[in-house]
């Protein structure tokens, strides 16, 4: 393989660049200097706005974010012309700079608008804000003056193993601290600026090729990548300083992610459209509630929680088999309608099992409140604990338990995806008739997908019941099923990272953007429309999924075919 520092011997492999303007590079450097200088100056006269931007030579968090974007721009400028020029055949500095330039301009425009809206107009904007805006404009202008390059295939780049591992560690650390800082924002404008920063930085890293390199490094060191991801997730509660609100949101994200991963088996692998999947989560939650020591529980048997998890998961899987057996003989729109009906039947059944319209199992619309906190192996999840001088709240305790659950769900999904069963599901999704003609047990595999997906959702439901402290039918409405499906479509069907990302976006943003309460669904619908228009394969899509929407990409087709041949060889 080619080393990243190896010179290009064949002229046909050399980067081909359109000529750029000589003034572009110094203009970009000037823009970087202005952004950094402007960020050290005061942006606002009023110290009550945007976490206090009124102090000179003492940048606050939002100004530091602008400095980070400027430093990323400086690195790419040095790749274009400077000591890092050897990387120019691998990284597209121009595309990365364009993303950073546009991001900086948008960031500063929104910052100035926020200062104007929160105070008495632009009169309260100090010179530092304008200086930083001009710097962002210069970076954007210079980026459009720089030439585009023909790059080498990043899969051929080879660096020492320690560099690959360091890259993975730096990325995970950056994600951890960015998430901690963004969640710490309680006001509207600082959070919006954080989202713009994340969007600009992520777009830059993807477009210039850095994330492609990290992706290949992760493929070469999968165990390191997995370990680093879980280490970052494990350390997240230690960044919250005892903030129980953010840990509650994080716990909800993990429950949502585990449930979405189960639905990903049904929709992403087997291609079965299920619009009533939230019922399986609800069945697990109701099993845990009725078997708990709550004063409102209706079943006298009180087994240990580990038994409750298995019972709840098995009950959900049984419901999946009961519903799937008669309904999986239809497909497409008809299957979607049937599963939608099942979700509503489950919800109304929980209403009617109140002792008047049926046996008293669920207390009807009142639900089962007062579910006590878990106590496992002497550890009380309802008590605050202090570890390494950091207070871990009740929701932080459940967060760690849910993290273990998500790890189990991911392991199950990945093993199934790489097995003969997973290949059978993919074959059914691609062409059910062809799969059946080749001897695939179509009905049996469909039913298995329903049962396993329901089993995983039931497990998540048992933990959710204790974390929430109560269950009621109103928690399991059709909209929740729609959000689960949207998380899979948004993140990338059939992938692990994509579904986790989609679930995080759709769970965190509505919670943090409560000041847009009346427009949240409108923004959600707009996001989906834009995704379906510009990236229908999802944020993090598999190569096979990308090829379905980009059939003209010959290089991608070759890569997919190579992956298929490797899978066939492994199967033999």
pLDDT score for 31:
95
Residues 280/282/283/288 CA torsion (nearest 10 deg): 130
Domain count, the chain: 3
To the nearest 10 degrees (0 to 180), the angle between helices 478-491 and 333-352 is 140
Taking 70 as the threshold, does the pLDDT of residue 551 lie above it? no
pLDDT score for 325:
83
Here the tokens at position 513 are: 């953007």
d(CA 69, CA 57): 18
Is 389 within the bounds of a domain? yes
Q: Is 246 found in the same domain as 209?
A: no
pLDDT score for 17:
46
| pLDDT one-digit tens code per residue, 374-408 | 988 888 888 888 887 788 888 999 999 999 999 99
pLDDT score for 10:
38
Q: What average pLDDT score do residues 235-249 get?
A: 86
Q: Is 209 found in the same domain as 160?
A: yes
pLDDT score for 572:
43
Q: What average pLDDT score do residues 497-521 get?
A: 80
Q: Is 365 found in the same domain as 322?
A: yes
Q: Is 248 found in the same domain as 396?
A: yes
Q: What average pLDDT score do residues 221-236 get?
A: 89
Range of the domain at 130: 11-214
CA-nearest of 523, 518, 517, 519 to 505 is: 523
pLDDT score for 107:
95
Residue for token pair 């904007």:
125
Contact between 305 and 280 (Cβ < 8 Å): no
pLDDT score for 219:
81
Instruction: Give the residues across from 379 on adjacent strands.
Output: 376
Q: Is 288 found in the same domain as 199?
A: no
Q: Which residue has the higher pLDDT, 20 or 273?
A: 273
Which DSSP letter does residue 385 get?
E
Q: What three-state secondary structure class fits 523? A: helix
CA-nearest of 124, 432, 457 to 263 is: 457
Is 523 within the bounds of a domain? no
Is 324 within the bounds of a domain? yes
Contact between 36 and 139 (Cβ < 8 Å): no
Residue for token pair 């989609």:
502
* Residues in the chain, total: 572
Taking 70 as the threshold, does the pLDDT of residue 42 lie above it? yes
Contact between 217 and 161 (Cβ < 8 Å): no
Confidence of residue 183 (pLDDT cuts 50, 70, 90): confident
Taking 90 as the threshold, does the pLDDT of residue 226 lie above it? no
Q: What average pLDDT score do residues 239-249 get?
A: 84
pLDDT score for 131:
95
pLDDT score for 549:
61
Q: Is 191 found in the same domain as 266?
A: no
Instruction: Give the residues across from 182 on adjacent strands.
Output: none
Q: What average pLDDT score do residues 409-419 get?
A: 90
Residue 497: Cβ within 10 Å count: 16
Last-in-domain residue among 460, 486, 508: 508
pLDDT score for 558:
58
Instruction: Give the residues across from 360 on adjacent strands.
Output: 354
Q: Is 53 found in the same domain as 201?
A: yes
Percent of the chain that is helix, strand, coil (3-state, to 5): 70, 5, 25
pLDDT score for 15:
43
Q: Which residue has the higher pLDDT, 520 or 553?
A: 520
Taking 50 as the threshold, does the pLDDT of residue 127 lie above it? yes
Is 562 within the bounds of a domain? yes
Q: Is 249 found in the same domain as 205?
A: no
Residues 196/200/201/207 CA torsion (nearest 10 deg): 150
Contact between 338 and 330 (Cβ < 8 Å): yes
Please tell me which of 3-7, 83-87, 104-108 the model is most confident about, judged by mean pLDDT.
Answer: 104-108
Here the tokens at position 320 are: 């999946």
pLDDT score for 186:
80
Confidence of residue 1 (pLDDT cuts 50, 70, 90): very low
d(CA 81, CA 76): 9
| pLDDT one-digit tens code per residue, 474-483 | 889 888 888 8
Here the tokens at position 257 are: 């992610």
Q: H-helix or E-strand containing 340?
A: helix 333-352
Is 492 within the bounds of a domain? yes
d(CA 156, CA 68): 29
pLDDT score for 557:
55
Taking 80 as the threshold, does the pLDDT of residue 20 lie above it? no
Least confident of 49-53, 415-419, 510-514: 510-514
Query: Computed over its alpha carbons, how large is the radius of gyration of the chain?
Result: 26
Q: Which residue has the higher pLDDT, 91 or 154?
A: 91
| pLDDT one-digit tens code per residue, 28-40 | 999 999 999 999 9
Contact between 491 and 501 (Cβ < 8 Å): yes
Please tell me which of 11-25, 179-193, 450-464 the model is most confident about, judged by mean pLDDT.
Answer: 450-464
When the pLDDT of each residue in the chain is averaged and rounded to a whole number, the result is 84
Residues 6+ apart with CB under 8 A from 215: none
CA-nearest of 18, 29, 39 to 142 is: 29
Q: H-helix or E-strand containing 392?
A: strand 390-392
Is 397 within the bounds of a domain? yes
Q: Is 204 found in the same domain as 331?
A: no
Residue for token pair 């479509």:
489
pLDDT over 70 for what percent of the chain? 89
Q: Is 317 found in the same domain as 422?
A: yes
Q: Is 247 found in the same domain as 209?
A: no
Q: What average pLDDT score do residues 441-464 get?
A: 92
pLDDT score for 406:
94
| pLDDT one-digit tens code per residue, 296-326 | 888 888 899 999 999 999 999 999 998 888 8
Is 515 within the bounds of a domain? no
Q: What average pLDDT score do residues 275-279 get?
A: 91
pLDDT score for 560:
54
CA-nearest of 456, 454, 539, 452 to 255 is: 456
pLDDT score for 108:
95
| pLDDT one-digit tens code per residue, 419-450 | 889 888 988 888 888 888 888 888 899 999 99
Q: What average pLDDT score do residues 233-249 get?
A: 86
Here the tokens at position 432 are: 């059910």
Last-in-domain residue among 198, 214, 230: 214
Is 467 within the bounds of a domain? yes
pLDDT score for 198:
93
Could you tell me the pTM of the whole model? 0.85
Last-in-domain residue among 174, 197, 214: 214
Contact between 309 and 462 (Cβ < 8 Å): yes
Residues 6+ apart with CB under 8 A from 303: 291, 311
d(CA 193, CA 191): 5
CA-nearest of 500, 510, 546 to 249 is: 510
pLDDT score for 19:
57
Q: Which residue has the higher pLDDT, 546 or 344?
A: 344
Give the CA count within 13 Å in the CB-facing half-sphere of 107. 37
Q: CA 368, 372, 373, 374 torsion: positive or negative?
A: negative
Q: Is 403 found in the same domain as 254?
A: yes
What Cα–Cα distance (Å) separates residue 516 from each residue in 190, 245, 250, 407, 512?
14, 19, 20, 33, 9
Contact between 299 and 331 (Cβ < 8 Å): no
Taking 50 as the threshold, does the pLDDT of residue 8 lie above it? no
Contact between 466 and 374 (Cβ < 8 Å): yes
Residue 3: Cβ within 10 Å count: 10
Residue for token pair 């879980």:
230
d(CA 461, CA 289): 10
């Amino acid at each position: 393989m080619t080393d990243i520092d190896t010179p290009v011997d064949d002229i046909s492999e050399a980067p081909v660049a359109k000529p750029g303007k000589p003034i572009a590079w110094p203009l970009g450097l000037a823009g970087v200097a202005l952004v950094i200088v402007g960020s050290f100056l005061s942006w606002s006269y009023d110290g009550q706005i945007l976490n206090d931007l009124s102090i000179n030579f003492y940048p606050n968090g939002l100004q530091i974010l602008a400095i980070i974007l400027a430093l990323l721009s400086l690195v790419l400028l040095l790749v274009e012309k400077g000591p890092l020029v050897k990387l120019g055949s691998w990284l597209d500095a121009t595309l990365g700079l364009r993303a950073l330039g546009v991001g900086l301009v948008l960031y500063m425009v929104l910052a100035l608008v926020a200062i104007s809206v929160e105070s008495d107009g632009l009169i309260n904007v100090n010179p530092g804000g304008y200086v930083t805006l001009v710097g962002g404009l210069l970076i954007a202008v210079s980026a459009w003056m720089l030439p585009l390059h023909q790059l080498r295939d990043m899969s051929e780049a080879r660096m020492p193993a320690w560099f690959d591992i360091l890259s993975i560690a730096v990325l995970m650390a950056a994600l951890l601290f960015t998430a901690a800082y963004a969640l710490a924002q309680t006001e509207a404008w600082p959070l919006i600026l954080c989202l713009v920063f994340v969007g600009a930085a992520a777009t830059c890293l993807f477009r210039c090729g850095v994330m492609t390199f990290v992706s290949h490094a992760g493929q070469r060191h999968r165990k390191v990548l997995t370990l680093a991801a879980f280490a970052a997730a494990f350390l997240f509660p230690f960044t919250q300083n005892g903030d129980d609100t953010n840990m509650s949101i994080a716990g909800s994200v993990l429950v949502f992610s585990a449930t979405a991963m189960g639905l990903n088996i049904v929709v992403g692998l087997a291609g079965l459209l299920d619009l009533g999947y939230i019922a399986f989560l609800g069945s697990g939650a109701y099993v845990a509630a009725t078997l708990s020591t709550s004063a409102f529980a209706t079943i006298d048997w009180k087994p240990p929680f580990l038994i409750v998890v298995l019972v709840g998961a098995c009950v959900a899987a049984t419901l999946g088999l009961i519903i799937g057996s008669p309904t999986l003989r239809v497909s497409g729109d008809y299957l979607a309608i049937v599963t939608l009906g099942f979700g509503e039947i489950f919800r109304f059944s929980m209403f009617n099992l109140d002792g008047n319209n049926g046996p008293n199992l669920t207390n009807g619309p009142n639900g089962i409140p007062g579910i006590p906190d878990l106590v496992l192996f002497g550890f009380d999840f309802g008590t605050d604990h202090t570890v390494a001088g950091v207070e871990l709240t009740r929701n932080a305790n459940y967060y760690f338990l849910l993290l273990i659950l998500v790890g189990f769900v991911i392991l199950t999904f990945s093993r199934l995806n790489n097995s003969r069963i997973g290949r059978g599901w993919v074959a059914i999704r691609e062409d059910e008739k062809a799969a059946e003609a080749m001897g695939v047990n179509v009905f049996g595999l469909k039913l298995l997908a329903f049962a396993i997906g329901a089993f995983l959702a039931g497990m998540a439901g048992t933990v959710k019941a204790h974390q929430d402290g109560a269950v009621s039918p109103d928690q399991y409405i059709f909209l929740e099923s729609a959000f689960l499906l949207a998380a899979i479509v948004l993140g990338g069907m059939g992938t692990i990272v994509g579904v986790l990302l989609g679930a995080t976006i759709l769970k965190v943003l509505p919670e943090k953007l409560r000041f847009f309460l009346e427009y949240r669904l409108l923004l959600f619908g707009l996001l989906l429309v834009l995704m379906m228009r510009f990236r229908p394969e999802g944020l993090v899509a598999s190569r096979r999924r990308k090829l379905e929407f980009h059939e003209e990409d010959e290089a991608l087709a070759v890569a997919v075919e190579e992956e298929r041949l490797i899978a066939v060889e492994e199967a033999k």
